[in-house]
Structure 1
């Protein structure tokens, strides 16, 4: 990717993140995702200087940066729900399916998304796809790992990937995705799978996509 193309993508990520930051209001309980697009959300949110917002983070990196920026980030054990969660995505399909987990935090990201009244996905235009394709990130238990991998052929442990924030093994499922819902069910019901990176349409409230021509597209679900 050329420098100009890279800069254009970063500008799109920033634009989507800044648009999403405007969704946060005083007093909200907010879930903060993980990744390169969320990296632009954190300073945008801090710059708004909202009153009495409380945040939870899906990764140590997001928590650390958020605190450094002055956001009130606390462990996700004192709250039983969130008003809003904002996170990035690896793939966004027209039917609302979303793939997450490039950074290996998808289990926490799904827990936070499910706990929120509204889950908003932010992305640059390259994350919009015609249909979901492999690989699909997985978090697996280390116990019985060979048996879990054998049950999910073709699945491979991600080379050089650190453990998930909760110590799980990060792997990628490379099978056929022509029926995404069926694959999601397979992954969810296979013993040894902590969680997978397929986020169903009903989990997402809105998608904010920034385009290269300056448009901010909002898809409401």
Structure 2
């Protein structure tokens, strides 16, 4: 079955598999959103249901809540759990400072709330998400429904004042815009290169209609990149890269078991 998996999916599995080394019995976990985080949720469910791993968890989206509960993981509220030991999530981009763009799945507000309450944030991804400068991936910002068109105008004016020649588009289109779990819309900013991510984030958050941005600055503790050849490369903070190789043939039965969870 592993032979039928696209290389990107193998890389996602490898990064999630390596991230499981960060999980300890009894931890309070924040579970991320997206296709890479889904591998991690399945691995946790497999460890819980087959090896008795005990943990508590909250989720960063309805999507993740539904997946986790369908696999037997009890999802609690962040308020019930309080401070988390660890959050694990994917990213749309990361730069050499481990600053991130997140929110491609539309869950950036809940992701940032959950992950800011975690002692450590581990990002699981693949090499395609590594960039010299953030911005090639559209930067999402979450905007209230009230005055959303006026907020877009203010966003574009603020971007011009920063010297950024960019365009903005509504996720889902202007006639049927995407609605987040919190009932807001997503405005995507096409900047190509973000030289000063903190200044951009601050400028956006100074606009009353902007709830949050997809810039996750100084939040990630560790980056794990999975590769289709079974190699996991990982960095702690601004240190150098280390790596570990996984035998894909030895992981085939586990991968098959995780894929069966989709049935």
TM-score higher than 0.5 here?
Answer: yes
Cα shift at 1:52: 3.4
> Could you tell me which residue of structure 1 aligns to residue 214 of structure 2?
197
Q: Does 1:111 align with 2:144?
A: no
Cα shift at 1:64: 1.3
> Could you tell me which residue of structure 2 aligns to residue 81 of structure 1?
83
**Structure 1 unpaired stretches of 5+:** none
Cα shift at 1:6: 7.1
Q: Aligned partners of 2:202 and 2:221: how far apart in 1?
A: 21
Alignment length (residue pairs): 217
> Could you tell me which residue of structure 2 aligns to residue 156 of structure 1?
169
Q: From 204, 208, 212, give the equivalent of 1:187.
A: 204
> Could you tell me which residue of structure 1 aligns to residue 240 of structure 2?
none
Q: Does 1:98 align with 2:100?
A: yes
The 1:198–1:54 alpha-carbon spacing in structure 2 relative to 1, beyond 3 Å, is same
Cα shift at 1:147: 1.8
Cα shift at 1:8: 0.6
Q: Aligned partners of 2:76 and 2:229: how far apart in 1?
A: 37
Q: Aligned partners of 2:62 and 2:92: how far apart in 1?
A: 20
Q: Aligned partners of 1:115 and 1:155: how far apart in 2?
A: 30
Q: From 187, 200, 206, give the equivalent of 1:171.
A: 187
Q: Aligned partners of 2:5 and 2:128: how far apart in 1?
A: 11
TM-score, normalised with respect to structure 2: 0.78
Higher helix share: 2
On the 8 A contact 1:125/1:212 being kept in 2, the answer is no
Cα shift at 1:86: 0.4
On the 8 A contact 1:18/1:44 being kept in 2, the answer is yes
Cα RMSD between the aligned structures? 1.8
Listed one character per residue, the Cα deviations across residues 81-101 of structure 1 (whole Å, up to 9, x for unaligned) are 110000000001112111100
**Structure 2 unpaired stretches of 5+:** 157-166, 238-263
Q: Aligned partners of 2:205 and 2:18: how far apart in 1?
A: 33
Which one is further off, 190-199 or 167-176? Answer: 167-176
Listed one character per residue, the Cα deviations across residues 101-127 of structure 1 (whole Å, up to 9, x for unaligned) are 001000100111100001000001111
Q: From 215, 218, 224, give the equivalent of 1:208.
A: 224
The 1:212–1:51 alpha-carbon spacing in structure 2 relative to 1, beyond 3 Å, is closer
> Could you tell me which residue of structure 2 aligns to residue 23 of structure 1?
22
Q: Aligned partners of 2:126 and 2:4: how far apart in 1?
A: 12
Q: Aligned partners of 2:77 and 2:115: how far apart in 1?
A: 15
